[in-house]
Amino acid sequence: MGAEAEQERHVEAGGARESAARRLRLLLVGVLGAGLLWAIVTHSLVAALVESRPHWALAIEPDDPGALMALAERALDRERARMARPAKPAPKAAAEQDGDNAPDSELDDDLRRWATAVLVQEPGNARALAILGDLARRSGAESAAATFLGASARHSVREPLALGWLIEEALKRRDWPEVVRHTGAMLRYYPIAFAPLSPLLAQLLQDAEAAPSVRDLLATAPPWRKEFLPVLLDASANPRAPLDLYLSLKETPHPPSVRELQQYLAFLIRGQFFELAYYTWLQFLPPEQLAQTGLIFNGGFEKRPSGLQFDWVFARERSSGASIERRGDRASERTLVVRLGPGRAEVDYISQLIRLQPGRYRIQGSTMGNVEGGRGMRWRVRCLGAQRQQIGESEMLVGRIPKWTEFSFDVNVPSAGCAAQELRLVLDARTPSEQLVSGTIFFDDLSASRVP
């Protein structure tokens, strides 16, 4: 009996120890689980608060680099916004809960403290290094600025403060390849920098030593190149400067686009540099077309118009009124087709700039079709320039013309004030009601010859 009782006591004691061990394990698991859960929650919460409430994030994780940098970026954004607008008294408003409205006098100290705290944990943080470098530069500590900004540039090729410093240093040394290289990087990563930096490139293009580096950069066809020509035109005192650039790009994998050439030709035409405009157009004609130029270009409409001003230009790009199509009687040839109506027809259809020297000329061509209405089609020639006087027009082409028929008209180019002309096909409608015409008319074989 005593042995049995002793055995039961041993069993009960063992059960108690096992129960205590189980409770201890559960407690440890609970503590570890709670710790892990707290770590997950705080980490996710800090990450969520970094952008929206960086001060709250720092209350949970006092040295979080992301939150510190978010505070610095907010302060820098406020400073940029303040510099971008005229100074004026700001309305009194309640401070934001994250403490963004620090007094101006504290800004530099705050930036320095935040950037330094970030570098303690991330010694290679390029943005923090750049902020310290910029603060040193603004305080006149050029040596310290060079140290910090140089370190920032070595750690990241995209840091804007470091790139700006590299551009300034290269300008001081007149190291044009480096100026252009860093400027190209800034424009590639930060398109917003185009407005302040594009005039710099335009000026460098007019410097004999710097221009080759700029041309090499533009030859890579950066995305901002299409917006660069207007800046170059505004900055250039020499109307030929863009042509020198475009000729250097002509044989590269990215030659000047039609849009870029259109902009340049329009600039020259507005300035009445007609000879230079015509010469520029000739420079970019394919060799086989250059050999076929005449007083009227592509008068047979055999080639697809380029859209440049000394070629055929449709008045409206998306208009269905005029098109170049195959001739019904000669499948291997093409013709200009104008479809009128139904309803109110357009007035302008197609035009081309030409250069006739002073004297008398005869323009001729062939037509067929049917135009029903009170008015018909005319070819007109007028001078370009201030007066834009009309110097010739065809008879009105209206009614039924059942087969190909020749037409012609004379043009008298005055000796002054008419260095270039515009040949245009129009519907000769004087009022909106006269635009109510319908039908289809074809044109082909336009040419011009001088009358002795």
Is residue 81 in some structural domain? no
Q: Is the pLDDT of residue 47 over 70?
A: no
- pLDDT tier, 452 (very low <50, low <70, confident <90, very high otherwise): confident
What's the whole-number mean pLDDT along residues 272-296? Answer: 93
End residue of a domain, out of 235, 264, 293: 293
pLDDT value, residue 335: 96
Core vs surface per residue 95-110: b (16+ CB within 10 A) or e: eeebeeeeeeeebbee
What domain count does the chain have? 2
Q: Is the pLDDT of residue 268 over 90?
A: yes
Are the C-beta atoms of residues 347 and 432 closer than 8 Å to each other?
Answer: no
Higher pLDDT, 146 or 245: 245
Q: Is the pLDDT of residue 355 over 70?
A: yes
Is residue 366 in some structural domain? yes
Higher pLDDT, 157 or 358: 358
pLDDT value, residue 69: 66
265 shares its domain with 347: no
Is residue 210 in some structural domain? yes
Is residue 223 in some structural domain? yes
Query: Domain residues for 251?
Result: 204-293
Helix (H) or strand (E) holding 361: strand 359-372
DSSP string for 263-320: HHHHHHHHTT-HHHHHHHHHHTS-HHHHTT--SSTTTT--S-----TTS-EESSTT-S
Burial of 194 (0-12, 13-18, 19+ CB in 10 A): middle
Which of 222, 215, 164, 150 lies closest to 193, judged by CA? 164
Strand partners, 444: 366
445 shares its domain with 317: yes
Is residue 267 in some structural domain? yes
Model pTM score? 0.74
248 shares its domain with 329: no
Is residue 253 in some structural domain? yes
379-383: which pairs have CB atoms within 8 A and are 24 or more residues apart? 379/409, 379/423, 379/424, 379/425, 379/446, 380/423, 380/424, 380/425, 380/426, 381/354, 381/411, 381/421, 381/422, 381/423, 381/424, 382/421, 382/422, 382/424, 383/413, 383/414, 383/417, 383/418, 383/420, 383/421
Mean pLDDT of the chain: 82
